[in-house]
């Protein structure tokens, strides 16, 4: 039995293959392949849900293939119904253009772009979809799709009861037209995407077969690969916070929030995340897992994941900064650096205080900080030794408030994980 091609072997041990079309392994044994992933520019930033397909392109490039990132400047003005329960708001051309530029900058953190044989390429499907007239499109593309075939797709079936416009209904034909164009004009032989995109991806395979007049059973000339959807041990989708999606844009999701999200992952999920979302080797991950098993309280696997993800998305310097901030916030020690205090004030729940609050004593200050909902709750915590202000343990409800740090900061800790940063009101 022939060896598995390196690209498929890499994806396989990482658990990144949900499905693949027939003949892909045989094609990869003949040499490098060009493959694309589509990115919807409906928002000005990619989010955590895009990380698996992005890593698919990363592994392809590392194995000698040429990754093509297709930004849907054309299809993004319509919207993919897959996984959606209602019609989306349509974006104007300027908004889509701005989003395309932002996505390019984010992808450059992951992929090497350029003109070399293995360099990544970014394309925008407005370049070809925008040139189609309606009659030309129906003649060249639409004639290859039967109504029965389109209605059989799960993305359409799920919307039939709630309603789906002709615009969204025709989306799969546009995505298929992309694949055909890339196949003909750029030598792209494979499309990759999430498992929820399988119907749209295989529609592209069918269009290529029909448009190139390859008969049934004549052998594939184009291929598809689907990644599994990333879910937690509880079945929840990854990449959601209380505020919404976990974006790669630091203006939408701060690096501190991004780092903390990965740092706080469940022990049951962290090994899977290390395999699927990083480029760490099997040996490196195994070493981290050994350390995790021997010292789970120090969360070495979560720390490795958070560092790797933050460095990849925001840069190594920013990642090191988040490590220091996290250690300052949650090590339990004193925080005296004014810059660290100011940054934690922006990132964490915080409060303002006045001289009246300072004179009111520790109990009043603990409640004013928002760490406790009532005087009685704060009093019990103080009596149990669970409250510190500026690293000084409060032993009595009427104890004085310690002097503010650096002239204007208070750090209230309630137990091990609850932290409130106070700033003197100016």
Q: Are 280 and 319 members of one domain?
A: yes
Taking only the tens place, the pLDDT of each residue in 192-251 is: 999 988 988 999 999 999 888 765 555 568 999 999 999 888 888 887 766 788 999 999
Q: Containing domain of residue 244, as a range?
A: 240-331
Taking only the tens place, the pLDDT of each residue in 62-87 is: 999 999 999 988 777 665 555 544 44
**CB-count burial class (<10 Å; 0-12, 13-18, 19+) for 41:** buried
**Which stretches of 187-299 are DSSP H helices?**
198-211, 255-263, 267-277, 282-294
Q: Are 51 and 176 members of one domain?
A: yes
- Report yes or no on 83 lying in a domain: yes
Range of lowest pLDDT (289-293, 307-311, 417-421)? 417-421
% of the chain with per-residue pLDDT over 90: 67
- Report yes or no on 389 lying in a domain: yes
Q: Are 215 and 245 members of one domain?
A: no
Indicate which CATH number applies to the domain containing 262: 1.10.240.10
Spatial neighbors of 25 by CB under 8 A, at least 6 apart, are 4, 5, 8
Q: Are 319 and 204 members of one domain?
A: no
**Predicted confidence band at 1 (pLDDT cuts at 50, 70, 90)?**
very low
pLDDT for the residue 81: 54
Range of lowest pLDDT (83-92, 133-142, 154-163, 390-399)? 83-92
Q: Are 159 and 40 members of one domain?
A: yes
- Report yes or no on 337 lying in a domain: no
Q: Which of 11, 5, 37 is nearest to 24 (CA)?
A: 5
**Which stretches of 22-142 are DSSP H helices?**
24-28, 51-62, 93-107, 126-129, 134-140
Q: What is the pTM of this model?
A: 0.86
Q: Are 247 and 371 members of one domain?
A: no
Q: Are 351 and 315 members of one domain?
A: no
Q: Are 152 and 288 members of one domain?
A: no
pLDDT for the residue 151: 80
pLDDT for the residue 93: 77
């Amino acid at each position: 039995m022939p060896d598995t091609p390196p690209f498929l072997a890499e994806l396989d041990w990482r658990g990144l293959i949900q499905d693949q079309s027939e003949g892909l392994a045989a094609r990869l044994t003949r040499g490098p392949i060009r493959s694309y992933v589509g990115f919807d520019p409906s928002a000005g930033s990619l989010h955590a849900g895009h990380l698996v397909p992005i890593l698919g392109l990363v592994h392809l490039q590392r194995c000698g293939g040429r990754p093509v990132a297709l930004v849907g400047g054309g299809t993004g003005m319509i919207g993919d119904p897959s996984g959606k329960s209602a019609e989306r708001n349509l974006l104007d051309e300027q908004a889509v253009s701005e989003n395309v530029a932002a996505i390019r900058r984010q992808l450059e953190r992951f992929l090497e772009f350029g003109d070399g044989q293995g360099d990544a390429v970014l394309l925008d499907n407005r370049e070809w979809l925008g040139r189609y007239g309606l009659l030309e499109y129906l003649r060249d593309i639409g004639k290859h799709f039967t109504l029965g075939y389109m209605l059989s797709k799960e993305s359409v079936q799920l919307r039939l009861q709630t309603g789906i416009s002709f615009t969204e209904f025709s989306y799969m034909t546009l995505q298929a037209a992309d694949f055909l164009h890339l196949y003909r004009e750029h030598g792209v032989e494979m499309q990759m995407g999430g498992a929820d995109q399988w119907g749209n991806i295989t529609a592209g395979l069918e269009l290529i077969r029909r448009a190139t007049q390859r008969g049934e059973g004549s052998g594939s000339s184009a291929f598809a690969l689907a990644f599994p959807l990333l879910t937690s041990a509880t079945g929840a989708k990854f990449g959601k916070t209380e505020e919404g999606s976990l974006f790669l844009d630091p203006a939408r999701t701060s690096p501190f929030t991004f780092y903390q999200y990965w740092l706080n992952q469940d022990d049951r999920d962290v090994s899977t995340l290390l395999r699927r979302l990083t480029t760490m080797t099997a040996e490196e991950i195994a070493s981290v897992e050994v350390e995790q098993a021997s010292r789970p309280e120090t969360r070495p696997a979560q720390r490795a994941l958070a560092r790797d993800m933050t460095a990849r998305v925001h840069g190594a310097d920013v990642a090191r900064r988040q490590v220091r901030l996290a250690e300052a916030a949650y090590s339990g020690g004193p925080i005296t650096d004014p810059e660290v205090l100011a940054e934690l004030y922006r990132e964490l729940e915080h409060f303002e205080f006045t001289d009246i609050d300072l004179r009111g004593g520790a109990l009043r200050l603990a409640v004013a900080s928002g760490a406790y909902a009532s005087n009685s709750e704060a009093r019990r915590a103080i009596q149990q030794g669970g409250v510190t202000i500026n690293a000084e343990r409060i032993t009595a409800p009427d104890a004085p408030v310690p002097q503010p740090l650096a002239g204007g900061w208070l750090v209230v800790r309630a137990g091990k994980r609850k932290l409130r940063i106070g700033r003197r009101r100016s």
